[in-house]
Amino acid sequence: MKSHLLVIASLLLASSCVFSQETGSTSNAALSGLSIETQTTEERIQFLLDVATAYFNEDDFESAISAYERILEIDPMHQQTRFIIGHVYISGKQYKKAEEQLSALIEDYPEDFKLLNNLAWLYATAEDPSFRDGQKAISLARQAIVLAPNDHHVWSTLSEAYYVSSEYEKAYRSINHMAALAARYGTDITKESVEDYNEQIRKCKRAMDTAEAIKGDLEE
């Protein structure tokens, strides 16, 4: 669920300008076929940001990552790219790079709840079991909630962290609290995100009811 991965909206909007020519998709030639050597460093970076955003919008995460990494080769401390690329690494299932990038950023910005939330989401949802860690996800999500108690995204992440840790009642309570916050404070709610949240509520309710039924059978 992409909506759970918090990317600073202003950063994405700043780099959301896609090429004006009408094409069905972005070609790899965008990176290799166009000369940018004559441009200034700032212009080269903006060009690569535009290319990366176009690739990301097409779910071509590998190419988007390539563009963002080229920016960091030009300017290793480019803040906008440092914040965005962790999210893109997760989308592209490059979990080790995502973990390293987000961990480094959290050291620099320990009060940024979105970074904590993104790393928690990685640990809660990584398809690679070697990166899946429910307890780490719970700890990070709780830290994010202390910093942003009314942000519904972090409650969704906490719910998923509890779910993968088999703490189904807590997962169900968290996702219902998330729904209440989203209804009250949410400004980025889409039809897709509503469907995702409703499915998460149903998933947690089924798991909680099943666990309670099994517990009841064992106690008889």
Q: Mind listing the pLDDT tens digit for each residue in 88-132? A: 999 999 999 999 999 999 999 999 999 999 999 999 999 999 999
Kindly report, residue by residue over 41-92, the tens digit of the pLDDT. Answer: 999 999 999 999 999 999 999 999 999 999 999 999 999 999 999 999 999 9
10 and 86 in a single domain? The answer is yes
pLDDT at residue number 188? 80
pLDDT at residue number 61? 97
pLDDT at residue number 218? 73
The full DSSP string for 46-72 is HHHHHHHHHHHHTT-HHHHHHHHHHHH
Instruction: Give the Å distances, CA to CA, from 63 to 11, 34, 68, 93, 141.
Output: 19, 15, 9, 13, 30
> Does some domain include residue 76?
yes
Domain boundary among 64, 92, 120: 92
Q: What is the CATH number of the domain that holds 202?
A: 1.25.40.10
Place of tokens 């899946």: 132
Backbone angles phi, psi at 129, to 5 degrees: -60, -20
> Does some domain include residue 101?
no
Kindly report, residue by residue over 135-187, the tens digit of the pLDDT. Answer: 999 999 999 999 999 999 999 999 999 999 999 999 999 999 999 999 998 88
Q: Which of 12-21, 113-122, 188-197 has the highest mean pLDDT?
A: 113-122
> Does some domain include residue 198?
yes
Q: Helix 41-57 and helix 61-74: axis angle, to 10°?
A: 160
150 and 219 in a single domain? The answer is yes
pTM: 0.79
> Does some domain include residue 115?
no
Which residues span the domain enclosing 35? Answer: 1-92
How many domains does the structure of the chain reveal?
2
Maximum alpha-carbon separation in the chain:
78
The set of residues, in sequence order, having a beta carbon less than 8 Å from that of 193 and lying 6+ positions away, is 1, 3
> Does some domain include residue 214?
yes
Q: How far apart are CA 177 and CA 150, in angstroms?
A: 10
Domain boundary among 92, 120, 144: 92
pLDDT at residue number 215? 82
pLDDT at residue number 187? 83
pLDDT at residue number 67? 97
pLDDT at residue number 58? 96
CA torsion, ordered 193, 176, 198, 201, to nearest 10 deg: 130
Look at residue 39 and give its three-state secondary structure: coil
Q: What is the CATH number of the domain that holds 29?
A: 1.25.40
